[in-house]
Structure 1
Amino acid sequence: MGKPEGSPKRSQLIWRPSGKRKSCSFLRRIRIQHYSKDQVRVRFTSGELTRRKRNTMGDAPQIAYDSSTPRRVRMRLAHDSRAFARWMAGGPVSVFLSLLLLTIFIVSVSIGRESLEPYIAAGVGHSWWTVFTAISWSHNAIEMVIDIALLLSVGIWIERAMGSGWFILIGAISYWFGAFLTVLIAEGIDSIDPAWGDLLEQQEIVGIAAFLIGVGSAAAVKLPALWRRRVRTMVVSILLVMLAFAGTLGTIFTLVTALLGTVFGIIVWHKSRDRAASVMAGPQQGRGLVAIVVAGIVIGTLISLRSPEMIGALSSMKYTVASDAISPDIVDQMCAVETLSAQCAHYSYLLRGGGAGARLLALMPLVTQLVLAWGLRGGRLAAWWGTVILQSLTAVVALVHMAMIWGEVRNWEEGSEILGFNELGLPTARFIVPVVVPLVLLIIVCAKRSLFTVRAGSGTYEKAGRTLGVITALTLLVSLIIGVSIGATKTFLSTVWILTTDFLIRLLPSSVLSLVTPQMVEESEGAIVLMSWAPLVPWAALIVLLWRSFRRRDLPNSISRAEYIEIVRSTNAGSMGWITTWEGNNYWKSSHYEAAIAYRSDGGVALTVSDPAVRTEELADVLEEFVGFAVGQGLIPAFYSVHGPVVAVTDTWRWSRLQVAEETLLVLNELEFKGKKFQDIRTALNRARKEGISTHWTTFAECKPAYMAQIKQISAEWVSDKPLPEMGFTLGGVAELDDPDTRILLAIDDADTVHGITSWMPIYEDGRITGWTLDFMRRLGGGFRPVMEYLIASAALWAKENNYEILSLSGAPLARAKGVEDEAGSSAQILDQVLDVLGKTLEPVYGFRSLLNFKSKFNPEYAPIYLAVPSIVELPTVGLAIAHAYLPSLTLKDTITLGTSLRQK
């Protein structure tokens, strides 16, 4: 086989682009690998070709690629290596600290870590210079690897954001000054609480974590105001809870460096930091802080119950759970002292009735308080009352418990320290903290009483109380039946009395058992086990009922659907306003204007259905009033499926927004189906006349039964082809046709066969209909092919003849017209790309982009449709609310079916 005429020589350079191209942006140099009569094989000396392209050289019709796996792997490794090198070059200080950690570790291993550690690690009693060297020390190889990984990831990220100079300056000052202050604090603690101080003297300050916390706190100053408040609240709250319960030298050091970093960040960037306040800021932030404090103390108590390493002041909270705060050895010592006979009986009962049931019962008040903290986050008044009652009871019980034991052990010197009293006979933190902490929580929640105004629906708690009472009574009845059958007492009445009193006492928080000694059924271990487990049922029921009640709201300013429809007719709800009148929405009415908003309140989000029904000049005031209503109800306000005027207002609030759809509009006074761009439309109209297809306007109530049966059949076949249930919310189905204001346009042949269906909703503006909006679209499989072009064109011509101004072809979700950009910009560009990927992924299933391309045949005007939220951080919650609104009945099986369908397509 000869060489084709004009073919290039082997290894000859045949193409070198002068710049980047979209289709092969990484291609730099091509050399011939092999040639024959039909094709040329080439080798890429740099980069890779991203799209197969035709070869135009000589007679060779196509380029074949040398795509061997080893070469591609080498190219990928080379690319990744260059990216890694660029990343490392952006953090020289972080790289230097990583090398320092590694070097010190290797040196310490070679000369002996034990001999070197006292001269590097900082702590109480260590040399003064160790505050400067502690950053380079790691306790072991695992800790060293973790520190280096943090430096090369988080460290470089922060360094690139704030600059290497500020990174090393703020980090070093926060670390060194923080270490010095931490040592002073530890020495101060030793003078107040010697036991805690002795433990702190055995610990050291080492590692890089506090350094990163310091520079990260400083960098957070540059964040937007809302993000800055949230990051600061989260970091400080976590560190305070760690300090209060763990109480280690490291937690003290980390908190100090975080505070110092924040101070230095404010000093350096106080002029450039964002001071703008979000319209959502206010009660939501205060509620969140109170909930974090309450939940943090509860979680810390739960952790400290099983962690002997907890040495902080609040670790004594575990002694509120009496059954876990006493050991058999202590009980034996108490029982040996005549004056402690009452305490001997109390704790003997606790130990005898111990086990898994008793331990779970002791945790129930803590779990209940966690649920109440979740309610506090949502501004629930019932959660406020529940917290006040529970913490008041906890404080009173702890105070009485301390007084009772104090009175009994004042003359028992050998046992006082075991029970929690110092050498002077005064209560230690073991008794003081369980009294002080509930009182502090009471002060906090009572001081913030005005934040908790959200009420459940009328009768919610009355019904919950009745349910709880019935469950408790049934549990007691079952317990008595079982207890009597296994009891060993002499009489029936005595057994019933003992079991009943024991059950009722155990329903109270477990620390109450230290005040009262219930009688036991004699020699009946089965009854003891029963009484340990039975009270769990009412507590579990209480937790579930509280959780359910916090998901319900008594929404103020609510109006009926009929009232809302009248407001839509008299104001301006936009081109898609009629979808807000569908069933399933809540309706809020302004207190100051004749304006209303339709929304969904599932998932903690006030999700609007479309634009507000409001007059243009009142829009800003109504939107701000609605946001205040949503925040007051503990909901995240989210304006979904709204147009430009709404986001123009939210932009002034510095909210984030995303374009989620594209609406297509036909301006009727300019509409003429003439010219080449309308060729498909004219063809559809002409074919319909030739094939005997005609239009028929009707409504659901007036539609012939034969037509309606065909409509439902066509729709059912269309839905059956989809891997997921039919979507709702802003997408109408057959149910939405049943509306006297919605008009139905059918395409029918001479045999009364329905070939296509469209529905049209009115567009109201100041009391008159100015146009119509397309919603429902279905076509008969195998019927008149261009039926949708025919129906929409016919509707447009009819609307123009009747002097309407506009025809909306509705929105196409997750789609954007080519060449149409968000003129106001977006504060969430990355999420725009995510939505673009999501639209491409779901295209084979729902065809939203194909729908937009179809509508482009009518040469429409485009109007972007947005989602506006207070902050990007709210988007996951809002996204779940939107998904639930569209597919409320989505099941795991449907999700698996969707995944299978996407893989196939």
Structure 2
Amino acid sequence: MLHMHVPVWGTSGRYIRLPSLVLAAVILGVSVVGMRTGEFRGSGMYDLRALALGLLRVDDPALLVVVLVATLLVCGWAERVMGGVRMLFAFVGGGLIASVVGVLVGELESTVLTALPLNSEPTGGANPVAALLVVAMAASCFTDALWRRRIRLLGALVAVTLFLYAASAGDLYAVVALPVGIALGRLTGGARSTSGVQRSSHHETRVLLAALTTVVAVGPVIATVWGTGAGLLSAYGWLSYDPLVLAGGTVCVPGSFAVPCPDGAAYDELQPNAGWIAAIPLAVLLVAAWGILRGRRSALWIAIGMNILLCGGMTYVFVASEPDTLALFAQVQGVDAAFVWQTLVGLVVGAMVPLGVAVTLFLCRRAVPVSSTRRAENIFVCTIVVAAAGVSLATLAGSLSLSGDFTPRPSVGEIVGDLPMRLLPPSLIPAAAVTYVPESAAAQALWYLPSLIFWAVCAGGTFRLMVTPQAVRGADDRARADEMVRRGCSSLGFMATWPGNLYWFCADADAAIAYRVHGRVAVTLGGAFGADRNDPRIGHAFVEFCGRNGWTPVFYSVDQSFAEALAPLQWQRVRVADEATMDPQSWTPAGKKRQDVRTATNRAQREEVHAQWITWNELSVVDRLQIRAISEAWVADKTIPEMGFTLGSVDEAADPATRLMLARDATGHIVAVTTWIPIFGAKGLSGYALDVMRRRHDAMNGVMEFLIGSAVDVTREEGCTVLSLSGSPLAPHREQQVAALPALDRLLEMLSGLLEPAYGFRSLANFKKKFQPDFSPLWMVYPDAVQLPGIALALLRCYVPGLSLTQAARVAARARTSST
């Protein structure tokens, strides 16, 4: 990261510099004087003096505190990435431009787009919040691609959400500030966005999906609490109004044919807090958003289901609503009847938004891979069904016994027919569908409580499904595998504990094999692990297990000893990688061929870069964010999706047994990271294997050599006897010329060359040679060459789960293009 990982304490010794402090002081002074005396008011919305002072004035004391803190943080950061002069120009100049453009857009809305609900009419210029958005957007042009995307997405989510749901005049200026800020950033020397979409890692994709789900969940609350009633999605705020009111002491429903309200009567809400029951289903969406962030596939399906329900509900309300009823309801609520048409338009848009979110979640489902157990899913479904049935039966029994407390008295058929509506929050029931109303307190409890109880159970059931460790599919097997790995494993053995693997446990030996099934091919992740992993019967027993299931077994990335144990099968094998290993007790950087390692170490000392051996749990939140940012920038630079299987990511670094070797600069910021997974022998921990290597693009040359050399020193002190630099997939060390290789080896060489521009496997293999390690072959052992097409596709899907043939062809085309 070039700009975002700036020192917290700069060369001046201050994070907040003078321009930001002066700007915050001016906002404070103008706001205080304005609140006390009413000064600084312009003569109209075209008064430039008024527009300029509007950028510096906040009339709400509580909001003033928030704005001052935001000014110090946003402007202080912007100064460091683009300079104080550009920052002030963006705030003042960009704020004025946003004001003028916002006024013009407001004029266009009031004269041309009168039928569309957009926002309340602008009566003045942009506020400091809009100016700060201009600064943030302009500064984003001076950051790298990853942070540019993050800042713009965050700004767009906040501004657009407020504009759609709250729709105040200030929210219009906030939306206008987004393109104004980006344009100013480019004009003042910032970088333009690259063409095409920046690729995200699975973690970053989950963050975006969770954010999208959260917007749908909190938007209706914003529309209810802060909404002006003029936004495209302000109709959600209308749905928080309880249709039951009191008129002259009588319960009635405006717009209902069965229980209408008397003309000209004064209205009071029957239950003023009833609208909040509609927020409980939104709580289910919030829990689902959290589950999506954790990678839980069940959370994604719950979010999809809730969005489809929202879409269906809004569609039903639109179909069932009549303009006359809405006009009467607007009159009851004291809202301008001109908003009736806008409400109908808003209902259409309000139905399309959750539908679009549901489609987006479905298309991106592969980024949310963690499945729940069938038992946990069944418990969740049964909980919802039992809750619905129990609440409905209790409501039925209560309504029948208290039928005289309803007006008019409902028949048994009406009570039974209305049971599904009792599960809906009362404010979502269309007025025309209400045929009787509760009079007594007990009847009102039967009216309001069923939906509250039902949705509270739904929210609790969803939360339980997300937090229960045993709800994750294979959690018990994974825990058992984790114990067995610690009793003995190869350098790849610890990868067996990563999510996504299935496990076969040998019935008569302390050994297991991790594998993945794609199509009818079962691909192992390395060889066996456990105390008896070297037992030659293990591989044969796994073959029999696969045969019983109708699978073709493929032993992938197994070491020489395990491959030889499979020799009696008389299967074919191909060398897929070479593992580079070193003995920390005897390895030294001495020698001409290790000059690069010594040079990197000396340079690190000169530039005050130091190494730190640490676990993920010991890192601060800021450190974790820095590591994720470095990794996301690396992924964004790739032309193919993030790969897995034998290639880990930052997500796997969170395991307590995994170690990280970090490079920190003189200010303490992380400039590079490597992760190391443990290798266990018969006597416990015997060493570590290199997994992830990431660096900032402005890190010193040789930082990786420095980190690996530092890892050797640390593991030597810990008494480790092996340090593996792992294998480089599809890049084995070969003595022969490519033309002299067998056909399959030539095919793998071609695939390696195709992927080289994207992942650099060959370059990685050459890099490891700098340390002069010992190389050991890793093999793929398979039954028959006739099955190679299916095996190749299975391997591709192991590395990139869910990849279809069409997508595979597209990936190959992109990789081929990048290599030319």
Q: TM-score, normalised by structure 1?
A: 0.50
Give, in whole Å, the separation in 2 of the partners of 1:860 and 1:335. Answer: 77
Contact kept in structure 2, 1:421 and 1:427, CA below 8 Å? no
Choose the corresponding residue for 2:350, options 437, 444, 449.
437
Contact kept in structure 2, 1:353 and 1:532, CA below 8 Å? no
Q: Which structure 2 residues correspond to residues 688-699 of structure 1 after superposition, within 5 A?
A: none
Q: Check if 1:97 corresponds to 2:18.
A: no
Choose the corresponding residue for 1:456, options 372, 378, 392.
372
- Specify whether residues 436 and 536 from structure 1 end up closer, same or farther in structure 2 by C-alpha distance, changes over 3 A only: same
Choose the corresponding residue for 2:42, options 118, 128, 131.
118
Letter in 2 for 1:543: A
- Specify whether residues 331 and 138 from structure 1 end up closer, same or farther in structure 2 by C-alpha distance, changes over 3 A only: same
- Specify whether residues 465 and 264 from structure 1 end up closer, same or farther in structure 2 by C-alpha distance, changes over 3 A only: same
Q: Check if 1:200 corresponds to 2:126.
A: no
- Aligned residues: CA RMSD: 6.1
Q: Check if 1:546 corresponds to 2:462.
A: yes
- Alpha-carbon shift at residue 470 of structure 1 (Å): 2.9
- Alpha-carbon shift at residue 354 of structure 1 (Å): 4.9
Q: Which structure 2 residues correspond to residues 21-36 of structure 1 after superposition, within 5 A?
A: none
Choose the corresponding residue for 2:157, options 237, 243, 261.
237
- Alpha-carbon shift at residue 446 of structure 1 (Å): 2.3
Q: Check if 1:472 corresponds to 2:398.
A: no
Cα distance per residue 1:205-241 (max 9 Å; x no partner): 343x333322222223343433332332222101111
1:470 is paired with a residue whose SS is helix
Contact kept in structure 1, 2:235 and 2:343, CA below 8 Å? yes
Contact kept in structure 2, 1:305 and 1:318, CA below 8 Å? yes
Cα distance per residue 1:855-904 (max 9 Å; x no partner): 95x987796999xxxxxxxxxxxxxxxxxxxxxxxxxxxxxxxxxxxxxx
- Alpha-carbon shift at residue 310 of structure 1 (Å): 5.9
Give, in whole Å, the separation in 1 of the partners of 2:303 and 2:47. Answer: 50
1:313 is paired with a residue whose SS is coil
**Aligned match of 2:534:** none
- Specify whether residues 466 and 165 from structure 1 end up closer, same or farther in structure 2 by C-alpha distance, changes over 3 A only: closer
Contact kept in structure 1, 2:212 and 2:357, CA below 8 Å? no
Letter in 1 for 2:95: Y
**Aligned match of 2:312:** 393
- Alpha-carbon shift at residue 589 of structure 1 (Å): 3.9
- Alpha-carbon shift at residue 361 of structure 1 (Å): 3.8
Give, in whole Å, the separation in 2 of the partners of 1:646 and 1:590. Answer: 34
Q: Which structure 2 residues correspond to residues 369-768 of structure 1 after superposition, within 5 A?
A: 369-374=285-290, 378=295, 380=298, 382-383=301-302, 385-402=304-321, 405-406=322-323, 427-446=340-359, 449-453=362-366, 454=369, 455-458=371-374, 460-479=376-395, 488=404, 500-508=416-424, 510=426, 511-517=428-434, 519=436, 524-550=440-466, 552-554=471-473, 572-573=491-492, 587=514, 589=516, 594-596=524-526, 618=577, 628=643, 636-638=651-653, 640=655, 763=681
- Alpha-carbon shift at residue 184 of structure 1 (Å): 0.9
Cα distance per residue 1:395-415 (max 9 Å; x no partner): 33212222xx23x669xx988
Q: Which has the larger radius of gyration?
A: 1
- Specify whether residues 359 and 641 from structure 1 end up closer, same or farther in structure 2 by C-alpha distance, changes over 3 A only: closer
- Alpha-carbon shift at residue 296 of structure 1 (Å): 1.6
Contact kept in structure 2, 1:353 and 1:529, CA below 8 Å? no
Give, in whole Å, the separation in 2 of the partners of 1:126 and 1:97. Answer: 24
Letter in 2 for 1:318: G
- Alpha-carbon shift at residue 442 of structure 1 (Å): 0.9
Q: Check if 1:181 corresponds to 2:101.
A: yes
**Aligned match of 1:317:** 236
Letter in 2 for 1:304: A
- Specify whether residues 824 and 383 from structure 1 end up closer, same or farther in structure 2 by C-alpha distance, changes over 3 A only: farther
**Aligned match of 2:139:** 219
- Alpha-carbon shift at residue 317 of structure 1 (Å): 1.3
Letter in 1 for 2:525: A
- Specify whether residues 434 and 573 from structure 1 end up closer, same or farther in structure 2 by C-alpha distance, changes over 3 A only: same
**Aligned match of 1:56:** none
**Aligned match of 1:256:** 176
2:141 is paired with a residue whose SS is helix
Give, in whole Å, the separation in 2 of the partners of 1:183 and 1:499. Answer: 53
- Alpha-carbon shift at residue 164 of structure 1 (Å): 2.2
**Aligned match of 1:691:** none
Contact kept in structure 2, 1:247 and 1:310, CA below 8 Å? yes
2:433 is paired with a residue whose SS is coil
- Alpha-carbon shift at residue 390 of structure 1 (Å): 0.3
Give, in whole Å, the separation in 1 of the partners of 2:181 and 2:474. Answer: 43
- Specify whether residues 95 and 456 from structure 1 end up closer, same or farther in structure 2 by C-alpha distance, changes over 3 A only: closer
Letter in 1 for 2:131: F
- Alpha-carbon shift at residue 201 of structure 1 (Å): 4.2
Q: Check if 1:362 corresponds to 2:281.
A: no
Letter in 1 for 2:41: E
Structure 1 unaligned regions, length at least 5: 1-82, 600-611, 649-654, 664-729, 731-760, 764-771, 776-806, 812-820, 833-848, 867-905
Letter in 2 for 1:200: E
Choose the corresponding residue for 1:304, options 201, 218, 223.
223
- Specify whether residues 394 and 286 from structure 1 end up closer, same or farther in structure 2 by C-alpha distance, changes over 3 A only: farther
Letter in 2 for 1:516: A
- Alpha-carbon shift at residue 152 of structure 1 (Å): 4.6
Cα distance per residue 1:349-368 (max 9 Å; x no partner): xx999538844543343333
- Specify whether residues 317 and 101 from structure 1 end up closer, same or farther in structure 2 by C-alpha distance, changes over 3 A only: closer
Contact kept in structure 2, 1:316 and 1:434, CA below 8 Å? yes
Give, in whole Å, the separation in 2 of the partners of 1:114 and 1:275. Answer: 49
Letter in 2 for 1:226: L
Give, in whole Å, the separation in 2 of the partners of 1:579 and 1:637. Answer: 9
Give, in whole Å, the separation in 1 of the partners of 2:140 and 2:164. Answer: 24
Identical amino acids, percent of aligned pairs: 15
- Specify whether residues 237 and 343 from structure 1 end up closer, same or farther in structure 2 by C-alpha distance, changes over 3 A only: farther
Contact kept in structure 2, 1:175 and 1:211, CA below 8 Å? yes
Give, in whole Å, the separation in 2 of the partners of 1:290 and 1:88. Answer: 37
Cα distance per residue 1:55-82 (max 9 Å; x no partner): xxxxxxxxxxxxxxxxxxxxxxxxxxxx
Give, in whole Å, the separation in 2 of the partners of 1:589 and 1:311. Answer: 53
Contact kept in structure 2, 1:245 and 1:312, CA below 8 Å? yes
Q: How many residues align?
A: 572
The structure showing larger relative contact order (alpha-carbon pairs under 8 Å, at least 6 residues apart) is 2
Give, in whole Å, the separation in 2 of the partners of 1:384 and 1:597. Answer: 39
**Aligned match of 1:675:** none
- Specify whether residues 195 and 136 from structure 1 end up closer, same or farther in structure 2 by C-alpha distance, changes over 3 A only: same
Letter in 2 for 1:214: V
Contact kept in structure 2, 1:392 and 1:439, CA below 8 Å? yes
**Aligned match of 2:546:** none
Cα distance per residue 1:481-525 (max 9 Å; x no partner): 5566666589xx98876655444321135423534235568x654
Structure 2 unaligned regions, length at least 5: 1-8, 530-555, 560-574, 580-630, 664-669, 691-701, 727-820
Q: TM-score, normalised by structure 2?
A: 0.54
Give, in whole Å, the separation in 2 of the partners of 1:628 and 1:263. Answer: 35
2:429 is paired with a residue whose SS is helix
Give, in whole Å, the separation in 1 of the partners of 2:645 and 2:722. Answer: 31
**Aligned match of 1:683:** none
Give, in whole Å, the separation in 1 of the partners of 2:116 and 2:649. Answer: 44
Cα distance per residue 1:692-719 (max 9 Å; x no partner): xxxxxxxxxxxxxxxxxxxxxxxxxxxx
- Alpha-carbon shift at residue 93 of structure 1 (Å): 2.9
Give, in whole Å, the separation in 2 of the partners of 1:597 and 1:129. Answer: 75
- Specify whether residues 127 and 365 from structure 1 end up closer, same or farther in structure 2 by C-alpha distance, changes over 3 A only: same
1:219 is paired with a residue whose SS is helix
- Alpha-carbon shift at residue 613 of structure 1 (Å): 7.0
Give, in whole Å, the separation in 2 of the partners of 1:518 and 1:598. Answer: 68
Letter in 2 for 1:174: G
